Amino acid sequence: MTRIGIILGSTRPGRNGEAVARWVHQVAARRTDAEFELVDLLDYKLPHLDEALPPSLGQYTQPHTMAWAGKIASFDGFVMVTPEYNHSTSGALKNAIDFLYGEWNNKAVGFVSYGSVGGTRAVEHLRLIAAELQMADVRAQVALSLFTDFKDFSVFTPNDFQLDSLTATLDQVVAWSTALAPLRAR
């Protein structure tokens, strides 16, 4: 069965991303075409990148890196839930991505973002990063506005049409993850 990790890309206290990621996981868990697991960056306590060798060599020395690598390697694709901070993604998510290389290769990735303009600028940066990591980013995405999908900028109340966007994103991530399986098997 195809395994998809839903990565909660914010570690900020009081983060809106936790409710968003739970919503994504709740919707995804009703599907029968893949297994979905919520992965919270807070559970991995990754410091700023502290490996001496480049991740592309895959020679990790730190226990936290090995645990993170094992988790990411266990998935066939991902949905990254990202806030938009200063026209980009969170530093915590970027740092977590940068710890690894091969574990990301030949896997699909979709994005659920949130911010004042739906987090779309964060996703644009993540698409560039995904390309360097040999990931296939899907076209569909969910862009949640702090003005219309959150009450008082903090209580998550997604508009009904966002469910269609999420379904399309999940459909594409599962399809592409399945299609890329022969490349991962090499």
pLDDT of residue 56: 96
The CA-based diameter of the chain, rounded to the nearest angstrom, is 49
Pairing of strands 3-8, 35-40: parallel
For the chain, the average pLDDT equals: 97
* Residue range 132-164, pLDDT digits in tens: 999 999 999 999 999 999 999 999 999 999 999
Radius of gyration of the chain (CA): 16
Q: Across residues 7-13, what is the average pLDDT? A: 97
pLDDT at 112 > cutoff 90? yes
Instruction: Measure the CA–CA gap between 33 and 174, rounded to whole angstroms.
Output: 7
* Statement: residue 179 has pLDDT above 90: yes
Tell me the whole-structure pTM to 2 decimals: 0.97
Query: Quick one: pLDDT band at residue 186, thresholds 50, 70, 90?
Result: confident
Please check the confidence at residue 63 and state whether its pLDDT lies above 90: yes
Domains of the chain: 3-184 (3.40.50.360)
